[in-house]
């Protein structure tokens, strides 16, 4: 840490960790509903719980991104934050907005669109939060003497994130158009804006821990982000095969999304390369593990598991089955959860001025969450293959097939419990580091 | 490669791909009226869509394959179940089987049910490039062995044509709204069965089963013999 105002990041990290824990609790509740008859159906039915599970995910990741951004921007720009007050205000607004959203879901206050369940009033409130955030970041960056690619990409990512969000706000009369623009939020976030943010944050961490020249790191950042957008924007078409949109999307979407793994593979190589050619002794070995682990798991969850069902010939059979859930979990964990944990394990000790800190717990968190999420995702995957084959291939009734998938749902539950232990350890670790005296 | 080359690649690549994407989006819009029959997208359909959102149905069910994977897809529900069945089901979806995954009763009003069904009807006709796909092979149903006289065969036909299987099960195939009929012949005779089919309310005034006045006397007899033979 170099600048005093970077400290606003800590509370973002703490809330990020806590909401992560809550998300996982609700996830466990969801999988139980698949396995046994649901005693809570009258209080918190599946749909409500799913809305909470996915929205908590988005909120904790946004907290993580914002915390990471507030940590990095002063250091990159060589100046204090434009306004610590705004950063604090924005923190509380987002926290309150998130909590109101979750409580609202419990009382049936919902827009009723998957992943975009927040009611329209809250969606606009989020826009206000985003504007404050962007303003604050932008005003800090323009004080810089030398614009860096990391700054530019980061700013581009958060602006794109906010702009895409707007397409999730209106009510659409036509279901096909509804989903057409729904994917402008969902897909263009995870395979667009978020990749920009993640790649910039990762570039910063690599720059700091390996000491490789900025020129080299930023060159690769440009190439990777370019490829992400070139493949990912038209790649949105892999969601336009069956929703009422024209058949040419099978070509556009199929070909471009099949190229989406290219930048992700590049990220793996370039991370390993930077680490190999490091100019500094890497003292924070835990961060090194998270960095490399993130690159590899990002590759597996997003590139491999995404690729498996992105071609229309396959997607025709797997669309709308647990195959999607399998990929969703592995990709989100590998690409974004691990990234945020990397940033937290890098930035939080630094904020406390800790040169050394006890990394034992952090390594436990690493191995437990990685192995358990791998198991969980693969179990969903097997369930999904069974479902695609029996339900779509053989035309057997939906609920009958769910019976055949049950053992794999039980596996998901068990892995989920293990994962939960890892997350609890993580929360304890974060709280302990955050509360350390400097 | 220089950093500057990389930067130009980024700027131009992104700009060109964004332009193509916007062009495809505009073209897609021009195909929407025909592919989704916007002339049939009435206010009633829109009200039905709002009901769909109001109860957050989409976080349990997929529609066009998107949403929660907890419950069956709704894209073709209109043509596979039919209006009658939907009306009855939506009024009281709770299964009597405690082991089965339950849909909670949303206490929908009659209007809401009507609008939802109109919405499903409109969705059913969207051109989805033939999704969901037709199964490659249809799994064989092995019901109880039947002595297939002409009369019984005819009854089986009546059963299939009137989609009794939407509510009832025989040998594990079929719906769960009504009782399982796999061994109905051990409990009821053909007389009782034909009375029930002609007027279900005469046997149980609370029943949700609709009457089938369109069946001829012959067909009722055939159906009753078929069912009576299920032992
Ligand atoms: C970090 C990157 C990624 C994340 C976080 C991610 C996440 C997700 C999520 C959550 C969904 C499900 C959305 C829903 O219907 O509710 C999804 C769907 C999908 N993803 Fe990804 N994804 C990523 C990258 C990729 C990549 C690189 C590919 C292709 C190579 C891909 C291919 C697909 C496909 C084909 C679907 C649609 C599945 C279907 O509904 O049939 N994803 N993704
Ligand atoms: Fe996608």
pLDDT in tens, chain B (231 residues): 788 899 999 999 999 999 999 999 999 999 999 999 999 999 999 999 999 999 999 999 999 999 999 999 999 999 988 898 899 889 888 766 677 788 999 999 999 999 999 999 999 999 999 999 999 876 654 444 455 677 887 888 888 778 788 889 888 888 878 889 999 999 998 899 988 998 888 888 888 888 887 788 888 998 998 999 888
- Burial string for A327-361 (b: 16+ CB within 10 Å, else e) reads bbbbbbbbbbbbbbbbbbbbbbbbbbeeeebebeb
H-assigned helices in chain B? 3-36, 43-54, 77-81, 83-91, 110-124, 150-161, 190-198, 217-228
Give the Cβ contact number of residue A377 at 10 Å: 25
Atom of ligand 1 lying closest to residue A258 CA: 30
How many beta-carbon pairs below 8 A join chains A and B?
204
Domain check: are A1 and A142 in the same one? yes
Question: DSSP string covering B48-72, please?
Answer: HHHHHHHTTGGGTBEETTEE-SSB-
Return residues 10-69 of B near A (CB < 8 Å): 10, 13-14, 16-18, 20-21, 24-25, 27-28, 31-32, 35-36, 38, 41, 45-46, 49, 52-60, 62-69
pLDDT in tens, chain A (438 residues): 789 999 999 999 999 999 999 999 999 999 999 999 999 999 999 999 999 999 999 999 999 999 999 999 999 999 999 999 999 999 999 999 999 999 999 999 999 999 999 999 999 999 999 999 999 999 999 999 889 999 999 999 999 999 999 999 999 999 999 999 999 999 999 999 999 999 999 999 999 999 999 999 999 999 999 999 999 999 999 999 999 999 999 999 999 999 999 999 999 999 999 999 999 998 899 999 999 999 999 999 999 999 999 999 999 999 999 999 999 999 999 999 999 999 999 999 999 998 888 999 999 999 999 999 999 999 999 999 999 999 999 988 898 899 999 999 999 999 999 999 999 999 999 999 999 877
Tell me how far apart the 2 most distant CA atoms of chain A are, in Å.
Answer: 65
- Name the strand (E) or helix (H) holding B139: none
Q: CA of B158 to nearest chain A CA: how many angstroms apart? A: 21
> What is the token pair recorded at B54?
């109001």
Taking the CA atoms of A167, A173, A177 and A182 in sequence, report the sign of the dihedral they define. Answer: positive
CB A37 within 8 A of CB A46: no
Return residues 68-107 of A near B (CB < 8 Å): none
In a domain, A289, yes or no: no
- Name the strand (E) or helix (H) holding A386: helix A360-387
| DSSP label of B205 | T
- Name the strand (E) or helix (H) holding B169: strand B169-170
In a domain, A49, yes or no: yes
In a domain, A244, yes or no: yes
Q: CA of A11 to nearest chain B CA: how many angstroms apart? A: 31
pLDDT value, residue B148? 65
Distance A304 CA to ligand 2 centre (A): 13
Of A285, A149, A279, A277, which Cα lies nearest the Cα of A211? A279
> What is the token pair recorded at B110?
């009659």
Give the Cβ contact number of residue A192 at 10 Å: 21
Of B195, B168, B165, which Cα lies nearest the Cα of B179? B168
Domain check: are A270 and A206 in the same one? yes
CB B181 within 8 A of CB B230: yes
Best residue of A37, A47, A395 to probe chain B, by most B CBs closer than 10 Å: A47
- Composition of chain A by helix, strand, coil, percent to 5: 80, 0, 20
Domain check: are A313 and A435 in the same one? yes
CB A320 within 8 A of CB B62: yes
In a domain, A1, yes or no: yes
Domain check: are A135 and A219 in the same one? no
In a domain, A293, yes or no: no
Whether residue A186 has its Cβ less than 6 Å from ligand 1:
yes
Match 């005779």 to its residue by tokens.
Answer: B189
Of A82, A72, A80, A124, which Cα lies nearest the Cα of A101? A124
Distance CA A437, CA B1 (A): 47
Whether residue A261 has its Cβ less than 6 Å from ligand 1:
yes
Count CA within 13 A, CB hemisphere, residue A272: 8
Distance CA A57, CA A77 (A): 30
- Facing residues of B61 across strands? B71
How many separate domains does chain A show? 3
> What is the token pair recorded at A418?
């293990």
pLDDT value, residue A58? 98
Mutate to test the pocket of ligand 1, among A182, A186, A191 (most ligand atoms within 8 A of CB): A191
Domain spanning B150-228: which CATH class is it, in words? Answer: mainly alpha
Domain check: are A133 and A268 in the same one? no
Residue A429: domain span = 306-438
| DSSP label of A79 | S
B204 and A CB contact within 8 Å: no
Give the ligand whose atoms come closest to the C-alpha of residue A306: 1
Domain check: are A268 and A331 in the same one? no
Is A215 in Cβ contact with B3 (below 8 Å)? yes
Domain check: are A125 and A261 in the same one? no
Domain check: are A338 and A223 in the same one? no
- Facing residues of B170 across strands? B173
**CA distances (Å), B222 to each of B161, B189, B228, in order?**
13, 13, 10
Give the Cβ contact number of residue A426 at 10 Å: 23
CB A196 within 8 A of CB A160: yes
Mutate to test the pocket of ligand 1, among A324, A332, A381 (most ligand atoms within 8 A of CB): A324
> What is the token pair recorded at B191?
């007389």
Whether residue A388 has its Cβ less than 6 Å from ligand 1:
no
Whether residue A307 has its Cβ less than 6 Å from ligand 1:
yes
pLDDT value, residue B97? 66
Give me the CATH topology for the region B39-124. Cytochrome Bc1 Complex; Chain D, domain 2 (1.10.760)
CB A436 within 8 A of CB A354: yes
In a domain, A297, yes or no: no
In a domain, A163, yes or no: no
In a domain, A162, yes or no: no
Q: CA of A289 to nearest chain B CA: how many angstroms apart? A: 28
| DSSP label of A336 | I
Last residue of a domain, one of A282, A314, A344: A282
- pLDDT tens sequence across A216-268: 999 999 999 999 999 999 999 999 999 999 999 999 999 999 999 999 999 99
Of B101, B103, B70, B69, which Cα lies nearest the Cα of B86? B103
Domain check: are A1 and A141 in the same one? yes
The reported pTM is 0.90
Distance A61 CA to ligand 1 centre (A): 17
Distance CA A30, CA A56 (A): 14
Is A229 in Cβ contact with B17 (below 8 Å)? yes
CB A267 within 8 A of CB A200: no
Domain check: are A221 and A319 in the same one? no
Taking the CA atoms of B217, B219, B220 and B224 in sequence, report the sign of the dihedral they define. Answer: positive
pLDDT value, residue A1? 75
């Amino acid at each position: 840490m170099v600048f005093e105002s970077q400290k606003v990041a800590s509370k973002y990290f703490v809330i990020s960790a806590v909401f992560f824990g809550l998300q996982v609790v609700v996830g466990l509740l969801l999988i139980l509903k698949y396995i046994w008859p649901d005693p809570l159906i009258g209080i918190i039915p599946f749909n409500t719980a799913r809305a909470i599970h996915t929205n908590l995910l988005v909120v904790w990741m946004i907290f993580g991104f914002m915390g990471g951004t507030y940590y990095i921007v002063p250091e990159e720009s060589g100046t204090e934050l434009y306004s610590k007050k705004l950063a604090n205000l924005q923190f509380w607004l987002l926290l309150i907005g998130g909590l109101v959203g979750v409580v609202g879901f419990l009382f049936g206050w919902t827009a009723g669109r998957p992943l975009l369940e927040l009611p329209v009033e809250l969606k606009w409130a989020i826009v206000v939060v985003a504007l404050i955030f962007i303003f604050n970041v932008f005003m800090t960056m323009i004080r810089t003497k030398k614009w860096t690619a990391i700054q530019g990409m980061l700013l581009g990512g958060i602006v794109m994130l906010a702009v895409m969000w707007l397409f999730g706000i209106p009510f659409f009369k036509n279901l096909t158009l509804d989903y057409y623009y729904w994917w402008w939020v969902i897909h263009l976030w995870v395979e667009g804006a978020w990749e920009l943010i993640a790649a910039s944050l990762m570039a910063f961490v690599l720059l700091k821990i390996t000491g490789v020249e900025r020129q080299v790191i930023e060159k690769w950042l440009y190439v990777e982000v370019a490829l992400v957008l070139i493949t990912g924007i038209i790649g949105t078409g892999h969601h336009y095969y069956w929703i009422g949109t024209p058949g040419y999307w099978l070509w556009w979407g199929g070909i471009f999304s099949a190229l989406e793994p290219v930048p992700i593979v590049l990220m793996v190589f370039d991370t390993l390369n930077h680490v190999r050619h490091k100019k500094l002794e890497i003292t924070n070995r835990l961060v090194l593990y998270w960095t490399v682990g993130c690159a590899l798991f990002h590759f597996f969850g997003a590139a491999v598991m995404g690729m498996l069902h992105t071609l229309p010939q396959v997607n025709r059979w797997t669309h709308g089955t647990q195959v999607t859930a399998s990929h969703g979990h592995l990709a989100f964990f590998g690409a974004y959860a691990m990234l945020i944990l990397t940033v937290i394990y890098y930035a939080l000790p630094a904020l406390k001025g800790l040169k050394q800190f006890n990394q034992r717990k952090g390594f436990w968190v690493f191995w437990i969450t990685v192995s358990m999420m791998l198991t969980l995702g693969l179990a969903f995957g097997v369930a999904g293959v069974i479902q695609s084959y029996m339900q779509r291939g053989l035309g057997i009734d939906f609920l009958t097939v769910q019976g055949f998938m049950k053992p794999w749902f039980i596996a998901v539950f068990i892995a989920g419990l293990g994962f939960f232990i890892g997350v609890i350890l993580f929360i304890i670790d974060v709280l302990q580091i955050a509360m350390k005296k400097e | 490669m220089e950093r500057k080359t990389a930067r130009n690649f980024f700027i131009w690549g992104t700009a060109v791909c964004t332009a193509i994407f916007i062009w495809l989006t505009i073209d897609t819009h021009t195909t929407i009226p025909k592919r989704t029959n916007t002339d049939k997208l009435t206010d009633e359909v829109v009200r039905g869509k709002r009901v769909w959102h109001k109860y957050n149905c989409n976080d349990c069910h997929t529609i066009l394959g998107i949403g929660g994977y907890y419950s069956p897809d709704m894209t073709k529900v209109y043509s596979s179940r039919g209006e009658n069945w939907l009306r009855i089901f939506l009024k009281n979806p709770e299964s009597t089987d405690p082991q089965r995954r339950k849909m909670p009763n949303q206490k929908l009003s009659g209007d809401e049910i009507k609008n939802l069904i109109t919405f499903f009807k409109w969705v059913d006709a969207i051109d989805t490039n033939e999704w969901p796909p037709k199964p490659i092979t249809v799994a064989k149903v092995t019901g109880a062995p039947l002595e297939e006289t002409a009369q019984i065969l005819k009854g089986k036909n009546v059963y299939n044509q009137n989609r009794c299987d939407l509510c009832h099960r025989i040998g594990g195939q079929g719906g769960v709204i009504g009782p399982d009929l796999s061994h109905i012949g051990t409990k009821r005779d053909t007389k009782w069965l034909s009375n029930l089919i002609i007027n279900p309310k005469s046997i149980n005034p609370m029943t949700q089963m609709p009457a089938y006045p369109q069946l001829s006397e012959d067909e009722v007899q055939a159906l009753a013999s078929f069912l009576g033979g299920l032992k």
